[in-house]
Amino acid sequence: MANTNYPSASQQPSNNTPSSSNGGRNLIIGLLVAALLGTWGFMLWNKNSGSEGGNVFSGTDAQTETVMSESDSLRQMFNLAEMRLDSITGANNNLQGEKTALQKEIDSRKAEINKILSDNNATAADLKRARQLIGELNGQIGRLEAQVTQLKGENQELTARNTHLTSEKNVLSQNLDMRTAENDELANTVDVASTLAASGMSVTPLKERKNGKERETSFARKVDKLQIAFNIENRITTSGPADLYVIVTDPKGAIVQNSELGSGAMTTRQDGDRNFTAKIPVEYETGTRKGVSFPIKNLEGFKAGDYKIEVYHNGFKIGEGIRSLRKGIFG
Domain ranges in the chain? 18-168, 197-325
- pLDDT, residue 323, reads 95
- pLDDT, residue 31, reads 55
- pLDDT, residue 158, reads 87
- Give the C-alpha separation, 318 to 199, whole Å: 8
- Give the C-alpha separation, 83 to 27, whole Å: 11
CA dihedral 212, 214, 207, 329 (to 10 degrees): -120
pTM given for the model: 0.50
- pLDDT, residue 145, reads 80
* 197-325 classified as CATH 1.10.10.10: no
Q: How far is CA 144 from CA 89, 107, 137, in A?
A: 9, 12, 10
209: region left, alpha or beta (phi > 0 left; psi from -120 to 50 alpha) = beta
pLDDT by residue, tens only, the chain of 331 residues? 434 333 333 344 444 444 444 555 555 555 555 555 555 555 545 555 544 444 444 444 454 453 347 777 778 877 887 787 777 766 555 554 445 677 788 888 888 888 888 888 888 888 888 888 888 888 888 887 887 788 888 888 888 888 888 888 898 888 888 888 878 777 777 778 788 989 999 999 999 988 889 999 989 999 999 999 999 998 788 888 999 999 999 999 999 999 888 899 999 998 999 999 999 999 988 888 999 999 999 988 999 999 999 999 999 999 999 999 998 755 5
Strand blocks (E) in the chain: 197-208, 214-216, 225-233, 240-249, 264-267, 273-276, 278-284, 289-296, 305-313, 316-325
- Which residues, including other chains, have CB under 8 Å from residue 102's CB and lie 6 or more apart? 140, 143, 144, 147
- pLDDT, residue 329, reads 59
**197-208/225-233 β-pairing:** antiparallel
